[in-house]
Amino acid sequence: MTTPTRLTLVSFILLFEKAVFIQLEQEEEIQIVIQYWIRILNIKLGWIHNFDKLVVKYATIVMLESFYSTSKLLKTFTEHTNWVNSIDYSILAGNQFICSGSDDKTVRLWDIDNNKQIQLFNEHSAQ
């Protein structure tokens, strides 16, 4: 039979483990996101040799050096007003594009070479 003290200790340890897991440092969270994107892009497109051109809304506070030795922030696209949840990279007719989806309920298409937004898709308004 388990004593109440032992149950309390086990409960505390489980809560502590959850609290530690939830309280990742912001840089660790960003590194996890970037590692995920690297893995997804690697599967989706094959390796991108220009991967140092990865564009992330909050890339200004992360150093990509641990992932690719020449990585540096090249461009920042700042039109979204909330968190960016997804990014897709594509080459069409020799031009490079990024499509980004955000919690601001917009999807934006960016021309990487010209550093400009070329299309904005707003939230669907029908029920």
Q: Which pLDDT tens digit goes with each residue over 89-120?
A: 888 888 888 888 888 888 988 888 888 899 99
| CA gap 114, 53 in Å, rounded | 13
User: What pLDDT, on a 0 to 100 scale, did the predictor assign at position 67?
Assistant: 47
Total-model pTM: 0.45
Closest CA relative to residue 56, chosen from 36, 81, 86: 86
Residue that wins the pLDDT comparison between 16 and 32: 32
Q: Which two tokens stand for residue 45?
A: 């497109």
User: What pLDDT, on a 0 to 100 scale, did the predictor assign at position 118?
Assistant: 92
Closest CA relative to residue 84, chosen from 62, 65, 73, 99: 99
User: What pLDDT, on a 0 to 100 scale, did the predictor assign at position 96?
Assistant: 85
Helix H or strand E encompassing 34: helix 26-45
Query: H/E/C letters for each residue in 55-111?
Result: CCCCHHHCCHHHCCCCCCCCCCCCCCCCCEEEEEEEEECCEEEEEEEECCCCEEEEE
Q: Which pLDDT tens digit goes with each residue over 21-51?
A: 555 556 677 677 777 776 666 555 544 455 5
Closest CA relative to residue 77, chosen from 44, 94, 102, 95: 102
User: What pLDDT, on a 0 to 100 scale, did the predictor assign at position 82?
Assistant: 85
Contact 54, 88 (CB under 8 A): no
Helix H or strand E encompassing 9: helix 4-22
